[in-house]
A and B are shown apart, each in its own frame.
Chain A
Amino acid sequence: MGVIKFAWGLVCVIFLMGPLLVILPIAFNAGSFMVLPIEGWSLRWFTVLFTDPAWRLSIWNSLIVGVASSALATVLGTLAALGLRGHFGLPMTLTRIAFLLPMATPAVVLGVGMQLVYARIGLSSSYAGVIVGHAVLSIPLTILSVAAALASVDRTAERAAASLGAAPPKVLWLVTLPMALPGIVTGFVFAFANSLDEVVLTIFLAGPNQRTLAQQMFLQLRDNLSPAIAAAAFSFIIATVCVGVTGLWLRHRNAARSR
């Protein structure tokens, strides 16, 4: 049994990780095309990635849009989760579903709709427009994550704070939010990863100046198969692993603190 389980696990891991592992060596290709086997080792495509104006701009754009949209989604998602907390019944359930709807809506539909609205209010091809668009997609993630954290916050601790003289805003700021902090941070990380990844909606909303890294890779893939794409993918993977490890470390530290 053990052997079969191990083999099955291995197959699954290879299936999931294979594509990632295949792309890694291509990033170091000395040749000019995305092919295997590579024609020799070189860092030239990383140089292109970090010096070519179009690639550089897209990296900056991804960071700006990612940080701003996840911050926005975290603030709004936390407020929504606080508002939805402890309320049940049909109207509240419908509200909850409405908040989570962007997760179920195809990004193409959302993209077309937002493009039409943006054209009206003058947000087309602007950073603000892309940031808001990404935030809309991320809000369900932050709501879910913060709501789960709030569900574990002890109500009697909040009552205790009130009885000890804390007005409602102080209870929220000094007790509820700190106790829900791990969920809020997790929500932010999810939102950031979601924004880095997002291409479809971005194609509708972003002008050439707001082109994000993922979008740039997508466009390059269509035009020429430059190994810079693989270099970008490599950097992407490394960055994601770093974010993930940081998240795990934070969680571990929190667990250790409250033990």
Chain B
Amino acid sequence: MSRSPFIRCDGVSKSFGASRVIDSLQLDIFQGEFVSLLGPSGSGKTTLLTMIAGFERPSEGGIWLDGYRIDDLAPHRRNMGMVFQNYALFPHMSVAENVGFPLRMRKIARSEARTRIARALEMVELGHLAERRPSQLSGGQQQRVALARALVFEPRVVLMDEPLGALDKRLREQMQLDIRDLHRRLGLTIVFVTHDQSEALTMSDRIAVFNNGRIEQIGTPEVIYDRPATRFVAEFIGETNLMTGKVAETGADGSVIALPGNTRIRVHQRLEPGVDVSICLRPERLHLGGKGGNVLSCQVTDRVYMGDHLRVALDGPDGTLIGRLPCSANGLRAGMPINASFTPEDCWVLPA
């Protein structure tokens, strides 16, 4: 990759008193990229965003924007749009005045500002509400105003701090698609903080998974979901079955892993024999029947009809397995013995 990163966080640490919130963190973000910072609360993702925005200074390390070190640059000189979870609109200004605020700060001529405000409001489909006060709008509308306000001055980077966290599910999904669409259309560079893994999966070009002030893994949604680097990532993203065992033997087409209950599972990765590992198996990879290479005889302990699929809990030789089956398997009942199967390629092996 010859491109140089647009935002570079190099060895960034942040401590508040004795607690280290971010620990020598490395992150490169490229121009036009949509990067999500995903992690549980307190994992340091918001602190990193705050440092990129300039409201906090790194305790160690540095942050570069387009080749320039910006650690000492005040927030108002960074030319970054920011969207907050609580919208942070100015209640004493109308919608149009809110959106015009960054243009006013940049002393843009009134006539030009008016066209740009109108265009920005049109973009978020709120042109008809320009004269309203923020308090007269719904939550979703307010967040659209905040979005328009953060985009109207064509910032170099847009930072979003859980922008959809306060919206209800339907609206959130709609806004996810809208933001993704804006990102594509305008070629924006977006850093998006969220604790919602499905939001990160649907929206991002790349996801950085945070845990305890460190990035556990950074990669495309596919990589993060299918090939998690650690148990934490595997468990935080989506639902997963983790089976812990030891590598028994390795051949040309993969390895065999022995589980404590004497089950042997074939995987396609080639691993060092004798090493302790965890096998990550996504519930939708589990099938009924005896084909697929790995077959476990289980007993159904629970089945829940979810509308588009059937969620089953199986009692296997090495603990409980969760499966996501098509609704055609609706005949399953608790207590029934079944065979659960999956191929070696369905498994992903992690360090234990």
A interface residues, Cβ below 8 angstroms from B:
154, 156-157, 159-168, 170-171, 174-175, 178-179, 181, 257-259
Contacts and interface: CB of A to CB of B under 8 A. Distances in A.
B84 interface: yes
B149 interface: yes
A157 B89 contact: yes
B140 to A, nearest CB: 18
Interface stretch (B35-43, B98-106, B187-195): B98-106
A160 B91 contact: no
B105 A166 contact: yes
B136 interface: yes
Interface string B72-107: 001110111110101011111000000001100110
5 contacts: A163-B53, A163-B54, A163-B75, A166-B105, A174-B90
Contact of A165 (B53, B76, B90, B135): B76
B172 interface: no
B309 interface: no
Per DSSP, chain A at the interface is helix
Contacts of B210: none
The 9 closest A-B pairs by CB, nearest first: A165-B105, A163-B82, A164-B102, A160-B88, A156-B88, A162-B75, A178-B92, A157-B88, A156-B84
Nearest to A257: B133
Given A170-B105, A259-B136, A165 B153 contact: yes
A166 B81 contact: no
A161 B135 contact: no
A178 B81 CA distance: 22
Interface in B91-136: 91-92, 101-102, 105-106, 133, 135-136
A40 B76 CA distance: 71
Contact of B55 (A159, A170, A257): A159
B159 interface: yes
Contacts of B84: 156, 159-160
Interface of B: 53-55, 74-76, 78-82, 84, 86, 88-92, 101-102, 105-106, 133, 135-136, 146, 149-150, 153, 159
A161 B101 CA distance: 8
A18 to B, nearest CB: 43
A135 B102 CA distance: 38
Contacts of A160: 82, 84, 88-90, 146, 149
A156 B159 contact: no
A166 B104 CA distance: 9
A28 to B, nearest CB: 46
A167 B153 contact: no
Contacts of B88: 154, 156-157, 159-160
B74 A179 contact: no
A164 B159 CA distance: 11
Contacts of B54: 162-163
The residue among B79, B80, B88, B89 with the most chain A CB atoms within 10 A of its own CB is B88
Given A157-B88, A179-B91, A167 B74 contact: yes
A165 B106 contact: yes
Given A154-B86, A259-B136, A163 B91 contact: no
Contacts of B133: 257-258
A163 B105 contact: no
B149 A164 contact: yes
Given A160-B84, A170-B105, A165 B55 contact: no
Contacts of A157: 88-91
B282 to A, nearest CB: 38
The residue among A159, A163, A257 with the most chain B CB atoms within 10 A of its own CB is A163
Contacts of B136: 259
A157 B101 CA distance: 12
A181 to B, nearest CB: 8
B190 to A, nearest CB: 14
A181 B91 CA distance: 12
Given A170-B105, A258-B91, A165 B79 contact: yes
A164 B151 CA distance: 10
A258 to B, nearest CB: 5
Given A162-B74, A165-B106, 8 more contacts: A157-B88, A157-B89, A163-B53, A164-B76, A165-B79, A168-B76, A171-B76, A179-B91
A159 B82 CA distance: 9
Nearest to B50: A159
Contacts of B53: 159, 163
Contacts of B106: 165
Nearest to A156: B88
B197 to A, nearest CB: 24
A179 B92 contact: yes
B153 to A, nearest CB: 7
A174 B136 CA distance: 21
A160 B149 CA distance: 10
Given A161-B101, A163-B76, A165-B106, A156 B86 contact: yes
A228 to B, nearest CB: 45
A257 B131 CA distance: 12
A166 B91 contact: no
A89 B53 CA distance: 28
A164 B105 contact: yes
Nearest to A170: B105
